[in-house]
Amino acid sequence: MRDPAPAATLRRVHPSEGPADLLITGASVRTLDIDGTVAEALAVTSGRIAAVGGGAALRRLIGPRTRVLELRGETVLPGFHDAHVHPPTGGRHLLLCNLHDLAWDREAYLGRIREYAGTHPSEAWIVGGGWAMPAFRGGTPSRRDLDAIVPDRPVYLENRDAHGGWANSAALALAGVTATTPDPPDGRIEREPDGSPQGTLHEGATRLVERLLPPVAQEQWEEALRRAQAYLHSFGITAITDAWVTPEHVPAYRALAERGELSLRTSLSLWWDRAGGLDQLAWFDQARRDTDVGRLRATSVKLMLDGVLENGTGALLEPYLDRTGSPTDNRGISFIDADRLAGEIAPALDRAGFDLHMHAIGDRAVRTGLDAVAAVRAENGPADRRPHIAHLQVVHPDDIPRFAALGVAATIQPLWAGWEAQMRDLTVPFLGPARTAWQYPFASLERSGARLVGGSDWSVSTPNVVAEVEVAVNRVVPGSRGAEPPFLPDERIDLEAALRAFTSGGAWIHRLDGAAGSLEPGMLADLVILDRDLFDRGVGEIGDARVVMTMVEGAAVFADPALAW
């Protein structure tokens, strides 16, 4: 790491340029360039960084119309990139029966649902989500709890990780789900001893009820996106990948982009319907043409390779264990056949110019994704590809070096890499010691040369980047500070590496490398200001830092009212 630039140092794009539009001074400007340069001031002209350097030197760029932001040691960083997030559903949940902001507590959930139903008496369905499995015995909430508080209307609430749903008896009856309803191939109906539906639906079984939900109008999706955008900007996020884009989302995104309302740099990952085939390429191509507007692009296709470990649908190489530690006959579910993925789907998407964006939780799913990329390289030859595998909860050690060798980015959700109820009660007992130690191998991937990319998976978890960075660095979730030991401490990464995952790492995924991801002259002036020097451990925990300003091309898209601006 270089020392802060001396006052005489000045790096500019064009020395002959006139006064800056904006000067930020008195800061700890962490450029996150290749040398890790630290400066104390930054100037912006025409939406791009004009200069970085010492405060005295950059004051020469002040003109009659220059806006000057005087800071007192706060951190200035490149704007954060969230490479795996779900704004339409996240924004919708903010408008519906939202459980995401509650403690993982059954009574708290029921209280919120009761309150929402009471204040929305005219809604035909009670819809929302955000419940967490550890709040319920076995991770499966019951229809009977919902029946007791909303007996007269159907209720359907999505799990916070979107891999399950909670329905009341009215919703199940409308869907025709009974003791004789078979489990779909890609899901499971949780059942009571007599075979009747218990109320929890896993993975593909959720579609049994979801197909009946009231349709969402385009105007509602637009409002959801506006809410989501404002929320993400408040955490310093300036660029995203929407990791689950369906045909109903595209018109809303396009409308906002055409009206100039989309300030987030947005890459769309178009949803691969695993029940369909290559005929989907026609829609993918049309969506790509339709979304080439302003800051909006469709760049990748999302391939769901498996489920999650907590409900036994994450795809493992070896069977899950039961509660006694004995192997079961369950290895999880592969949502896409591995041979079909490698031999047909992945090469076709690559030839069509789409990056592969793969969800993989279990080690078998991770290997399937890597094998698919290897097949693409062998069949289609050299190309500028940006494949990425997201989540990576369990990675077999033999597959760690394959990420760098194949050029596959590891998209990580650091907030999950800690001891908490879901890990302790619903994951570790069913993995055993060896596979537990293979979870979220951030440092191992970094040491192997893999590119780390940060993503929150909001609304599954918070999009608060500094909280995620804290867990990447400490392997302790913020709510367990001092109460829990680090989770697999050898997999900790340092602060700069964690920040790069959410800046230059995301810029690579978003094909914005060279334009964003660091604070260098000529780069877009997308930046975030934090309320403290993030590298000074004497001022508090990393995750306690607050975003006080977010800028896109030098214009504030979020500003804390307390900041003099």
Looking at domain 10-79+520-559, what is its CATH homologous superfamily? Urease, subunit C, domain 1 (2.30.40.10)
Region 239-250 average pLDDT:
97
Region 50-69 average pLDDT:
96
Distance CA 406, CA 220 (A): 41
CATH fold of 300-509, please?
Answer: TIM Barrel (3.20.20)
Distance CA 139, CA 133 (A): 4
pLDDT confidence of 201, banded at 50, 70, 90?
Answer: very high
Distance CA 287, CA 304 (A): 19
Helix spans in 385-494 (H)? 400-406, 421-426, 428-431, 433-436, 442-447, 465-474
Average pLDDT, rounded, for the chain: 94
Distance CA 134, CA 27 (A): 42
- Minimal CA–CA distance to 367: which of 344, 343, 338, 404? 338
Distance CA 177, CA 25 (A): 63
Q: Which two tokens stand for residue 42?
A: 């930054």
pLDDT of residue 8: 32
The three-class DSSP label of residue 442 is helix
- Minimal CA–CA distance to 241: which of 48, 482, 505? 505
Q: Where, residue-wise, is CATH 3.10.310.70 in the chain?
A: 90-210
Distance CA 460, CA 423 (A): 15
Contact present, 95 and 517 (Cβ < 8 Å): no
pLDDT of residue 10: 43
- pLDDT tens readout for residues 106-131: 999 999 999 999 999 999 999 998 89
- pLDDT tens readout for residues 68-99: 999 999 999 999 999 999 999 889 888 889 89
pLDDT confidence of 565, banded at 50, 70, 90?
Answer: low
Secondary-structure class of domain 90-210 per CATH: alpha beta
pTM over 0.85: yes
Count of residues for the chain?
A: 565
- pLDDT tens readout for residues 470-495: 999 999 998 899 999 999 999 999 99
Distance CA 393, CA 395 (A): 7
Region 34-46 average pLDDT:
96
- Minimal CA–CA distance to 456: which of 225, 161, 192, 213? 161
Least confident of 116-125, 158-167, 315-324, 513-522: 158-167
Q: Where, residue-wise, is CATH 2.30.40.10 in the chain?
A: 10-79+520-559
Q: Where, residue-wise, is CATH 3.20.20.140 in the chain?
A: 300-509
Contact present, 530 and 74 (Cβ < 8 Å): yes
